[in-house]
């Protein structure tokens, strides 16, 4: 590959400034896996249909399999590997509700659930199913996922109430 097929990009990854040399055809999944050894965003369908590759770019969830890595230049990327030691309330709710089996889809569901709760703090079951329609779970843990989202949303609301 010639030198012109690569470029260096700089961005904020999970709160830390980083830079990486990328090949221009790399997707965000390639960038995270090859550039940073981060495997929470997984490629499954590769067509924007399953949500397993979800990452948050500039504050919005995107399909990491379809988004070019070069688009991250100058922006922010957040992944499930946010460097926090503590689980957040969404992760805790997924564990408590048993909302996964193999776990392959779970990072994508958790990132989307955080966004869902930020957009709609009191989602109905229909709201949850509609919002997460782009995330697929081959293990079929949808009832538990809905329960986990409801649990996490309730805790989020309770935490925001004045004491």
Residues engaged in binding ligand FES (CB under 6 A)? 43-46, 48-53, 63, 65, 100-105, 137-139, 141
Q: Locate 16 and state its tokens.
A: 């830390």
| Least spacing, CB of residue 106 vs ligand FES, in Å | 6
* Residue closer to ligand FES, measured from CB, 10 or 133: 133
Nearer to ligand FES, 3 or 43 (CB): 43
For ligand FES, the closer of residues 138 and 157 by Cβ is 138
Shortest Cβ distance from residue 71 to ligand FES (Å)? 15
Nearest distance, CB of residue 63 and ligand FES, angstroms: 4
- 132 φ, ψ to 5°? -95, 20
Q: Which is nearer to ligand FES, 49 or 68 (CB)?
A: 49
11/109 with CB nearer ligand FES: 109
CB of 50 to ligand FES, least distance (A): 3
The residue length of the chain stands at 163
CB-based contact 52:108 (threshold 8 Å): yes
- In the chain, % helix, strand, coil (3-state, to 5) comes to 40, 20, 40
Q: Which residue bears the tokens 């961005």?
A: 11
| CB of 98 vs ligand FES, minimal distance in Å | 10
Task: Using alpha carbons, list the distances in angstroms from residue 49 to 21, 53, 56, 135.
Answer: 28, 10, 16, 7
| Rounded-to-integer distance, Cα 108 and Cα 117, Å | 14
């Amino acid at each position: 590959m010639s030198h012109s097929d690569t470029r260096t990009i700089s961005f904020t990854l999970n709160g830390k400034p980083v830079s990486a040399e990328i090949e221009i055809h790399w997707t965000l999944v390639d960038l995270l896996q090859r550039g940073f050894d981060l495997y929470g965003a997984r490629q499954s369908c590769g067509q924007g249909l399953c949500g397993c590759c979800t990452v948050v770019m500039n504050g919005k969830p995107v399909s990491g399999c379809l988004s070019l890595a070069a688009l991250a230049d100058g922006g922010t990327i957040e992944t499930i590997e946010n460097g926090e030691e503590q689980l957040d309330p969404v992760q805790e709710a997924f564990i408590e509700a048993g909302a996964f089996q193999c776990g392959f889809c779970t990072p994508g569901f958790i990132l989307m659930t955080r966004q869902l709760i930020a957009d709609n703090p009191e989602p109905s079951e229909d709201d949850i199913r509609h919002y997460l329609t782009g995330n697929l779970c081959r293990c079929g843990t949808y009832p538990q996922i809905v329960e986990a989202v409801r649990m996490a949303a309730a805790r989020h609301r309770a935490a925001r109430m004045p004491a």
